[in-house]
């Protein structure tokens, strides 16, 4: 019993240590953040001053305050939200279609060696092709409408999802399959209790990669062939030389990428509580 108490105490100590390490990071503002803030704010101030005094051309570098006012205007007119909404919709539908099929095939390939042997060469050949390059081909098949854009995004998200899922299933410790088999687990139980949770961390890494690629592809597709969406907005702003609008749409695109990443990171922490101390 003394041993018991000892291990309990030791592990309790370990927990509090981890908490101690965690707390200062969250509550107090780290000094580095001041540095980061200065690096961001100082150039903005200089930019503003230079643009207003006419030292730099406001055609290329409209003052930050002008950009800010333009963004307010774009928000209130509803123009921004239309473009943003369409891009988001394309990203999600494409990500969903490509991600789900990548996940399904990935699970099957991770599980079945013969299937892996058959399909691996195809993946190896198709994966390196820059997906934007197949847009014209897809447009021949699917027309110039919405579906061709979504198909390209789906194809691009399919690969990182597939590759990460296969790796995720394959890196599951064989001992876990043996335990399941030893207790007579059904195929259904092996899938839901071993394969899915065992590969989940890698699957979520794949999902994050796929989501970033989906955004990248959505913007690229919109630059090339769309009337609406953030990419189209960027292109239109460039064509009509409305530089401040160009900056606003770039900023919104960047913010969108950051928010999507942040959300997926939160979801990952929630879904994978057994790996909390590992940075994902």
- Positions that interact with other proteins (CB under 8 A): 1, 3-4, 7-8, 10-11, 14-15, 173, 175-176, 178-186, 189, 193-194, 197-198, 200, 272-275, 277
* 103: nearest Cα among 170, 199, 7, 240: 199
DSSP assignment of 163-222, as one string? Answer: HHHHHHHHTS-HHHHHHHHHTT--HHHIIIIIIHHHHHHHHHHHHHHHHHHHHHHHHHHH
Kindly tell me which of 182 and 239 has the beta carbon lying closer to other proteins. 182
Q: Smallest distance, Å, CB 78 to other proteins?
A: 45
Distance of CA 14 to the CA centre of its chain: 33
Q: Smallest distance, Å, CB 275 to other proteins?
A: 8
Residue pair 198/142 in contact (Cβ under 8 Å)? The answer is no
Q: Smallest distance, Å, CB 160 to other proteins?
A: 22
Maximum CA extent, the chain: 80
Kindly tell me which of 29 and 175 has the beta carbon lying closer to other proteins. 175
- CA angle centred on 261, ends 259 and 75, rounded to 5°: 20
Q: Smallest distance, Å, CB 274 to other proteins?
A: 4
Kindly tell me which of 193 and 242 has the beta carbon lying closer to other proteins. 193
Kindly tell me which of 240 and 276 has the beta carbon lying closer to other proteins. 276
Q: Smallest distance, Å, CB 200 to other proteins?
A: 7
Kindly tell me which of 15 and 42 has the beta carbon lying closer to other proteins. 15
């Amino acid at each position: 019993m003394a041993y018991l108490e000892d291990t309990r105490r030791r592990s309790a100590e370990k927990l509090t240590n981890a908490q101690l390490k965690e707390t200062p990071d969250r509550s107090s503002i780290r000094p580095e953040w001041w540095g980061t803030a200065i690096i961001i704010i100082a150039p903005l101030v200089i930019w503003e001053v230079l643009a207003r005094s006419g030292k730099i051309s406001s055609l290329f570098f409209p003052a930050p305050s002008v950009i800010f006012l333009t963004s307010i205007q774009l928000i209130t007119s509803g123009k921004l939200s239309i473009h943003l909404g369409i891009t988001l919709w394309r990203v999600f539908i494409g990500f969903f279609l490509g991600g789900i099929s990548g996940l399904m095939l990935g699970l099957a390939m991770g599980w079945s060696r013969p299937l892996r042997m058959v399909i691996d060469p195809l993946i190896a050949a198709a994966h390196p092709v820059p997906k934007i390059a197949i847009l014209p081909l897809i447009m021949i098949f699917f027309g110039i409408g919405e579906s061709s854009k979504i198909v390209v995004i789906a194809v691009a998200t399919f690969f990182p999802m597939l590759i990460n899922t296969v790796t995720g299933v394959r890196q599951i410790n064989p001992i876990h399959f043996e335990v399941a088999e030893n207790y007579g687990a059904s195929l259904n139980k092996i899938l839901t209790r071993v394969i899915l949770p065992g590969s989940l961390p890698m699957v979520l890494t794949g999902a994050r990669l796929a989501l970033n690629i989906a955004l990248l592809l959505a913007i690229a597709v919109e630059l090339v062939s769309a009337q609406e969406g953030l990419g189209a907005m960027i292109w239109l702003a460039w064509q009509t030389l409305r530089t401040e609008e160009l900056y606003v749409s770039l900023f919104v695109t960047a913010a969108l990428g950051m928010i999507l990443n942040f959300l997926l990171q939160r979801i990952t922490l929630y879904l994978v509580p057994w790996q909390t101390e590992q940075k994902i």
